[in-house]
Amino acid sequence: MSASANLVALHTIVRREIVRIMRIWTQTLIPPAITMTLYFVIFGKLVGSRIGTIEGGFTYMQYIVPGLVMMSIITNSYGNISSSFFGAKFSRAVEEMLVSPMSNWVILLGYVLGAVVRGMIVGALVLLIALLFTRLHIAHPLVTVLSVMLGATIFSLAGFVNAVYAKKFDDIALVPTFVLTPLTYLGGVFYSVNMLGQPWQSISRINPILYMVSAFRYGVLGISDVDIGMAFVVMLIFVVLLSWLALYLLKRGVGLRS
């Protein structure tokens, strides 16, 4: 298949995903915005007013904003691609794409870009809502953008792998409930891992979400629990590994061909 034809196929998949997101915006955009608003009110205002300043001299509200924004990006990127691709698999639309001339990387990239777009839209909404509660100054804009893109990409790829292996809709909710949510809450969203004693601090550093949250917090506030260089190395490793796994599954047709 020629490069121009692949680009047309890629544009078609991405456009379909974005149209899907915007068509059901009351399900894809509004619920996470409301949920994060409740987090800001309960944790930022009610709890944070009693905590005072935290690491770096920031208020607790300012400290948790990057973590909550990244959490919304991660969960929505993951949820978008897992539900969308499994829906396509359930309706046998994936089989039509697999037998078409389009390359496997076009299928993967199209779905990933759609999920990243949703994650970034939700993240932007949550950040705007946060500005109603506190003041923020982006310390490192480039780091902020790169960490958002990599974090959304990683969990879009992870959601794709989940959708490939899922055999029923219940399997889509299994990983977010028992893996994604615990890792997110233990990834330094609401606290600094430097506050933990050993061995919990060392155990927390195994959590990949910690590096995403810390990188984004560094971009926004200029503080981080981990070395920024190491954070980007970890994220890039996950992007490469998950991309390879997703393309391998597409090539083999695991869970896709019947």
Least Cα distance to 62 among 137, 126, 122 occurs for: 137
Report residue 251 as tokens: 């090539």
Beta carbons within 10 angstroms of residue 37's beta carbon: 18
| Vertex 26: Cα angle to 158 and 120 (nearest 5) | 45
The pLDDT confidence band at residue 258, using thresholds 50, 70 and 90, is low
Q: Which residues make beta-bridge pairs with 59? A: 53
Helix, strand or coil, per DSSP, at residue 167 = coil
pLDDT tens profile 191-247: 888 887 788 788 888 889 999 999 999 999 999 889 999 999 999 999 999 999 999
* 77/155 Cα distance (integer angstroms): 6
So what's the pLDDT on residue 194? 80
> Which whole-number Å values give the CA distances from 51 to 190, 196, 241, in the listed order?
12, 17, 40
Report residue 253 as tokens: 């047709």
